[in-house]
């Protein structure tokens, strides 16, 4: 599947109209199959042909779009990172839990040495291989969301835990302490850092109270995510103040490090986790993005509920 942006910045993918209407982007990513007739290999030597990898699952990763799309596998040649489509998350995590053995067919990833794309599962060489998933997590998060027809407006409240930032510094989403992911629409983003500190820009800091009103995104088949609720808002308030005329601020590298902790880190992280964090991944923890059961604090067509426990500073 190939994806391009149109003149309005929307992500357009080459899939049939029928498939696009029935399922979200990630659910369609694995539909196209390609056939290969080459023999299998038993080592991790670089090759453009699918390779069978056997090893132990070390951990799973969540990407910036909020879905589990990668895992570390301990092989005889070292730990390898295997990437896969979002709609494979549930299947892989339930079939091959952390600490379990996995046999997966892979092809080289464009991310370089030590990165592979899953194209098949099981020891037996499949007759056809799945096409590698090539949509980036940032493009998926930046694309127009899927909303179920007839959905009602929903309000969510919570305390800002971290932000998700694109490669240019644009804030793409806000993560609340109740395992809610709030998209930041393009019209709310500020891309001129020279206006930082202006009253027309909405300040962001950890623990700020966030209220968003919009539509809950349509669930996607087979995905695994730490977020209980994903909302595409029409309005956002931070500490009782509506997003300003120039939107939320553009985040420089220094601001990302000092203003808000953008990713989970610490001295106990492995070298692989540190490298993955640099690419926008963080280790998947069952039970929500914040490591708990979470509470959506969402209200549809009724009186809003309020989160009373601020995020840990």
* Mean pLDDT computed over every residue of the chain: 76
| Three-state secondary structure call for residue 26 | helix
> Residue 25: what pLDDT?
34
Percent of the chain at pLDDT > 70 equals 67
For the cut 50, the answer to whether the pLDDT of residue 305 exceeds it is no
Number of Cβ within a 10 Å radius of residue 150: 5
For the cut 70, the answer to whether the pLDDT of residue 256 exceeds it is no
> Residue 113: what pLDDT?
74
Number of residues written out for the chain? 313
Distance CA(86)–CA(84), nearest Å, equals 7
> Residue 170: what pLDDT?
86
> Residue 258: what pLDDT?
45
CATH of 146-265+281-300, one of 2.40.50, 2.30.29, 2.60.40, 2.40.30: 2.40.50
Average pLDDT, integer, range 217-225: 93
For the cut 90, the answer to whether the pLDDT of residue 32 exceeds it is no
- Domain map (residue ranges) of the chain: 3-139, 146-265+281-300
Give 261 or 21, the one with higher predicted confidence: 261
Structure confidence at residue 214 as a pLDDT band (50, 70, 90): very high
Q: Choose the weakest-confidence range: 28-37, 153-162, 249-258.
A: 28-37
For the cut 70, the answer to whether the pLDDT of residue 273 exceeds it is yes
pLDDT tens column, 152-185: 999 999 999 989 988 888 889 999 999 999 999 9
Does an H or E element contain 171, and which? strand 171-176
> Residue 5: what pLDDT?
53
Structure confidence at residue 199 as a pLDDT band (50, 70, 90): low
> Residue 254: what pLDDT?
57
pLDDT tens column, 49-106: 888 999 999 999 999 999 999 999 999 989 999 999 999 999 999 999 999 999 999 9
> Residue 141: what pLDDT?
92
The region that residue 30 occupies, defined by phi over 0 for left and psi between -120 and 50 for alpha, beta otherwise, is alpha
> Residue 198: what pLDDT?
62
Is domain 3-139 in CATH 3.40.50.300, yes or no? Answer: no
Buried b (16+ CB within 10 A) or exposed e, 184-220: bbeebbbeeeebeeeeebbbbebebbbbbbbbbbbeb
> Residue 47: what pLDDT?
47
Structure confidence at residue 278 as a pLDDT band (50, 70, 90): confident
| Three-state secondary structure call for residue 229 | strand
């Amino acid at each position: 599947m190939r994806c391009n942006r149109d003149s309005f910045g929307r992500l357009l993918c080459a899939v049939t109209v029928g498939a696009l209407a029935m399922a979200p982007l990630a659910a369609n990513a694995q539909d196209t199959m390609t056939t290969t007739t080459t023999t299998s290999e038993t080592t991790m030597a670089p090759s453009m042909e699918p390779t069978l990898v056997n090893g132990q699952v070390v951990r799973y990763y969540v990407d910036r779009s909020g879905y589990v799309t990668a895992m570390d596998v301990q092989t005889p040649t070292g730990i390898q990172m295997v990437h896969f489509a979002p709609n494979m998350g549930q299947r892989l995590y339930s079939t091959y839990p952390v600490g379990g053995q996995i046999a997966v067919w892979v092809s080289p990833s464009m991310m370089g040495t030590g990165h592979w794309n899953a194209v098949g599962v099981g020891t037996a060489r499949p007759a056809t291989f799945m096409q590698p998933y090539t949509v980036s997590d940032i493009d998926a998060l930046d694309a127009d969301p899927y909303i179920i027809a007839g959905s009602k407006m929903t309000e969510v409240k919570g305390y800002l835990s971290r932000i998700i930032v694109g490669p240019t510094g644009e804030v793409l989403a806000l993560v609340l302490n109740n395992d809610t992911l709030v998209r930041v629409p393009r019209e709310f983003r500020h891309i001129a850092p020279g206006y930082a500190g202006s009253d027309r820009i909405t300040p962001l800091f950890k623990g700020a109270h966030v209220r968003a009103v919009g539509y809950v995104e349509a669930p996607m088949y087979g995905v695994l995510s730490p977020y209980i609720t994903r909302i595409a808002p029409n309005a956002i308030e931070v500490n009782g103040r509506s997003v300003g005329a120039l939107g939320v601020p553009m985040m420089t590298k220094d601001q990302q490090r000092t203003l808000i902790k953008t990713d989970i880190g610490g001295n106990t992280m492995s070298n692989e986790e540190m490298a993955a964090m640099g690419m926008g991944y963080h280790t998947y923890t069952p039970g929500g993005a914040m490591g708990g059961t979470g509470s959506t604090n969402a209200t549809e067509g009724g009186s809003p509920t309020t989160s009373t426990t601020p995020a840990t500073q």
